[in-house]
Amino acid sequence: MTSRTTRPIDRLIEIMARLRAPEGGCPWDLEQTFATIAPYTVEEAYEVADAIQRGDMTDLRDELGDLLLQVVFHARMAEELDAFAFDDVAKAIADKMTRRHPHVFGDAAERDVDTQTVSWEATKAAERAEKAKRGPASALDGVALALPALMRAEKLQKRAARVGFDWPEARQVLDKIEEEIGELRAEIEAGAPKDAVEDEVGDLLFALANLARHLKVDPEAALRRCNAKFERRFHAIEKALAAEGRRPENASLEEMEALWQQAKRAERKNS
């Protein structure tokens, strides 16, 4: 394929058009829809976050490319429907960033972070109000259903907090967490059905997300960090057992717990 364009983004857009061409295109790409591609889009966003977490710039470059491909793919399918094209996507976000940064592109004087945050939220609220003219408005409108549940919980809580529905202090959220743990314990001890237990687990997770928000901690980032810590320490257990010619399934829980604590102490010593 010979391209007359010089910019890499133009070449990528041209490649996607070729892949989606009814004649001579790729059968797999031609079968795809917005719905079938959406899971890949979410997955690629997480791959970007993972590369950042690992500090791997080569992987980050590649993963950003994979994520950009998702944007190009969706834009191409929209263009085929005469809805919008890639340039419209780029223009929309450029216009939005300009609108939301009046201290850079306009006459607004605010420069400190707190003032800019207030201004940013005010602009977003105005944008939502404009959208609300198309139908009934809710303070929770616009929080995507497809978001990971923990992330969506945090965003729903932020929206509710803007209209005053929020705990004033973190300690009150801690009290709520203790209450939710008690309710979960009661359901378990009563032999409640799975749905009831699931409801209580959900309430507890929602309250934990609320606590993270009050403490200005990203719950998704905190859980990813915890996952990585769990992996490191479990790998240490496997390594220690392998040195004895054993595997975890051949060790007792007590032995593995001792090795876990050993790995924990080693991490603290080296930190």
Q: Nearest CA to 173 among 187, 189, 153? A: 153
Of 19-33, 39-53, 66-80, 249-263, minimum mean pLDDT range? 39-53
User: What is the end-to-end Cα distance of the chain in Å, rounded?
Assistant: 52
Query: How far from 91 is each of 87, 88, 97, 131, CA to CA, in Å?
Result: 6, 5, 10, 18
- 3-class SS of residue 83: coil
Judge contact between 67 and 44, C-beta under 8 A.
yes
Judge contact between 48 and 67, C-beta under 8 A.
yes
The crossing angle, in degrees rounded to 10, of helices 149-162 and 219-242 is 150
Domains of the chain as residue ranges with CATH: 8-99 (1.10.287.1080), 221-270 (no CATH)
pTM equals 0.61
Cβ neighbours for 246, distance < 8 A, ≥ 6 positions apart: none
Q: What is the pLDDT of residues 101-156, one digit of tens each?
A: 888 887 766 666 666 666 666 766 666 666 666 655 788 887 888 778 898 999 99
